[in-house]
Structure formats: C-alpha cells, structure tokens
Structure 1
Amino acid sequence: RKHRQLYLESTHVPACIGELEQPSVFSFMNKTDKKYSTTDPRQLKATDALISLLADDMLPLSLVMSASFRKFQTADNISNAYDEVTASYDLTGKVSNVITDNASNLLKAFRLPGFSTEPDSDDEDESKAVDLNDDLQLLTEHDSCFAHSLQLIVKDGFKDTASLNKVLSKAANIVSHVS
C-alpha cells in the first residue's frame, strides 16, 4: 500500500500550526484538500529536523514534520526531538515502529531507551520493583529503511567491479545528454 505524504516546510508551518495543534492531527489530514509537497526532504537544509511519524488510520499516513533544528544532530538531540514531537501529538507510547536510514546517529538515537548506565542501588525497595516484561512491550521498534540498505549493498557491489563502472559511466553520460 502506498503512503500519503505531507511535507511541511518551515514556510508552511506557521500557517498550519493552529490547525495542527488541534486534538486530532488525523482529522486535520483528512480535511486538507491541498498538498504541501514542496520539496524532496533530502534537499532540505541540514539544519532542518525531519521527524517522520507513521500512523495507521484507514490509510497509512506518513507525516514529515520539518522544524528548525539548530542543535548538533547527535543521537541525544534526535531522541529528544522525537520525544517532543510524539508528546506534542499525544503519541507517546502509541508509535509501534520507527524507520530511519542507516546513519549512525539515527541508529544510536533509537536503540533501547530507558536504560541508564548508573549502577543500581542495593537499597532499592522491592515493593517498587517494575515488571520488565510489561515495559518491553511498550518500546517502539526501530527498523532500517529497506531501500537505503539495498542502496548501500548495490553501491558496495559496484565498487568491486571496475569494468561495470566504465559501462555505467558511459550510460550515465548518454542519459545526461538526452535529458
């Protein structure tokens, strides 16, 4: 099934923010007649944060929120931005799967959350013990994008075949002259 996509650029965010803050973002998406697809998200500035939320409501829906991201794109900052966006749409604990490319900062940002590196206290009250199985069911699953993974495999395969690179280079030159 195809996903409907709505790309919000920073120029559109102020105009839409009032409607997006209403209780249900899905009702807003269903009411919207025009699309805000302005650019490919890969062409946005590196300072723009792209948080993609997938939701299954009759038709799969992919919402890419583009907000100014002035911090370094570290795993901690990405994780905090994700938490802020899910909280702002009341989706905390409701997102079942997050799909990202294979960037190391994204992979690190979506590793198992909630585990601290601080040593446990021996004085902990047993009555406050938490059933770990219940908590593990609430964790969001993270997957790498299949298309990005496949692209890396193909790219690595082409590195080892010099003769094929010459043929592909000539074909690319022909295509660039035709188009």
Structure 2
Amino acid sequence: MAKKRSVIWEFFVVDEDTKYAVYNTFQAKVSKGGSSTKSYTTTNLVSHLTKHLDVIHKIVNEVQELSKPWDINDTRSQRVHKRIGEMLAVDCQPLLMVEDVGFKRVLQTLEPHYKCPNRKYFTDTIVPKIFTGMKEVCKLIGTAKYISFTTDVWSSSVSIISLLSLTAHWVDDTFVKVSAVLHAQAVEESHTGEHIAAQMEWMLQNWEIPRDKVHIVISDNASNMVKAMNDASFAHFGCFAHSLQLVIKDGLFVQRTINDILAIC
C-alpha cells in the first residue's frame, strides 16, 4: 500500500471498503470520492473534517482548560489553602514553609493543578479567614454559665515580641470539661501589671465574654501577673505546678554538689 502522505490521515483510517474512510473521532464513514482506486481523493475527507472544526476546537479548549493551573480564588484552590493554613496552625509550622521547595514538590505531585500562594497570602488572607471562622467558639462559650482561664506571658528566642495567652475552660451541659485556646496577644510594651490587665480586659471583650462569667484566672506567681489580676479585679490563683517547680528548683540548687556538677559540665 502506498504511503499516506496527507495529514488528513491523522484523522481518518481506511475502511474495509477502500471507497470509504472512517473518521477517528466520530467513527463516521466518509466517501473518498471517485469510482475507482485511481480516482480516490482526500478532498471529500477535508470537506467533512471542516464541518467538525467547532467540535474540535471545543475539545482542544477543554483539554487546555483541564491542564491549566487552578485560579487562586477557585473553590478547589480555596479548599487546599484552608487545609494548609490549618496545618500551619495545628502543627505550629512557620508560614515560610509554604515557599519551601520540598513542600511545593509534594503538592505538585498530589495535585498538579494547584499552585501554592506565597507566605504573604496566607498571612493576610487565609489565616485571618480561619481565625474568623474559629470565633464560632463564641457560641459554645455563650452556653457556659461560668468560665475559668489560664494565662501566661511567654517569649521566643527568635522574636523580640512576647505573647500573652488566654485559654478558656468550662463545663458543658453534659458535664464534660471543655478547653479552648482563644488568643495569643502580642505584648510589645513593658510587661507591667497595668498593661497586662488592660490586655486581659481587651481579649475578653474581643471574645464577647462578660466579666460576670469569669470564675477564676490561673497564672504563674510572677509579681506583675498577680498585680494585673488584682488591678482587673479577677479572682486569681497561682499555678500549683509552677509553684511546685520553683520549690524543686530551689531544693536542688541549695545543694552544693548540684552546683559543682553544673560548674564542671
């Protein structure tokens, strides 16, 4: 058989009855024209193919659409954005992780259409959106008659900003203990009792918790925390575990042998 030179044969195959060719896409028989092998042409095939150009274009467009990356605001992208934001929060991962090469490779393997945004997008958009959604816990807190709180000021070796935490504890209608970490407020000013008291007041207002629901606040025994609770007129008690730790520490360091061992180390 002679070699088929025309590109038309990328769309057709010769039928058993050589007078016809079969269109690959629609499996339609199309006459090759003429009355004998010598008079067959591809003109009729080309003519038939042009009738289906719109369909071919549509197929090509659909294929291209399927291969395109999802838009950042696509519902599928938003679903993945949210899961990544939750992962960063739950696993205490740095926001810079979303720009790591290895992390991007994993995402590309799992879902080639997903393009991970940069750190700023998660900081400015996704994390605040998740936080707003988490404030639904206000509805649960609203059902509690009384709420106790634990709080502490803590700092990181990689940041100059300290954080004041606020965790709520209450018993629900079925007498099950519930705890929720509500807030970590940046403390950029001096850690004075007055300032901590003001921050505590603001956090409670932000979470729509009235003062008459505050049962007791537990913190360490630092003088500024004690003063803050007194200034804010909150019932306060020093953390027993913290007090015990201080006793153990003092009990160890009054022993000369312990200090000698540490000095040698």
Normalised-by-shorter TM-score class: 0.5 to 0.7
> Counting helix residues as a fraction of each chain, which structure ranks higher?
2
Instruction: Quote the Cα distance in structure 2 between the aligned partners of 1:46 and 1:146.
Output: 29
1:88 aligns to what? Answer: 206
Tell me whether 1:53 sits opposite 2:163 in the alignment. Answer: no
Tell me whether 1:78 sits opposite 2:196 in the alignment. Answer: yes
Q: Is the 8 A contact 1:50 1:64 kept in 2?
A: no
For CA contacts below 8 A with separation 6 or more, give which structure has more relative contact order: 1
Instruction: Quote the Cα distance in structure 2 between the aligned partners of 1:162 and 1:16.
Output: 53
Matching residue's letter, 1:17: F
Instruction: Quote the Cα distance in structure 2 between the aligned partners of 1:82 and 1:165.
Output: 39
Q: Is the 8 A contact 2:219 2:238 kept in 1?
A: yes
Which consecutive residues of structure 2, in runs of 5 or more, have no partner in the other structure? Answer: 1-89, 96-122, 142-153
Mean Cα deviation higher: 48-57 or 152-161: 48-57
2:241 aligns to what? Answer: 147
Which consecutive residues of structure 1, in runs of 5 or more, have no partner in the other structure? Answer: 1-5, 28-40, 114-138, 174-179
Matching residue's letter, 2:205: A
The counterpart of 1:65, out of the listed 183, 197, 200, is 183
Instruction: Quote the Cα distance in structure 2 between the aligned partners of 1:7 and 1:49.
Output: 18
Structure 1 residues 105 and 13: CA distance shift in structure 2, 3 A? farther
Q: Is the 8 A contact 1:7 1:66 kept in 2?
A: no
Tell me whether 1:17 sits opposite 2:131 in the alignment. Answer: yes
TM-score of the aligned structures, taking structure 2 as reference length: 0.40
TM-score of the aligned structures, taking structure 1 as reference length: 0.56
The counterpart of 2:253, out of the listed 154, 159, 163, is 159
Identity of paired residues, percent? 25
- Cα displacement (A) at 1:22: 4.5
- Cα displacement (A) at 1:111: 1.4
Equivalent pairs, count? 128
- Cα displacement (A) at 1:81: 0.6
- Cα displacement (A) at 1:91: 1.3
Q: How does 1:83-162 map to 2 (within 5 A)?
A: 83-93=201-211, 94-111=213-230, 113=232, 140-162=234-256
* Corresponding residue SS for 2:246: helix
Q: How does 1:22-37 map to 2 (within 5 A)?
A: 22=136, 24=138, 26=140
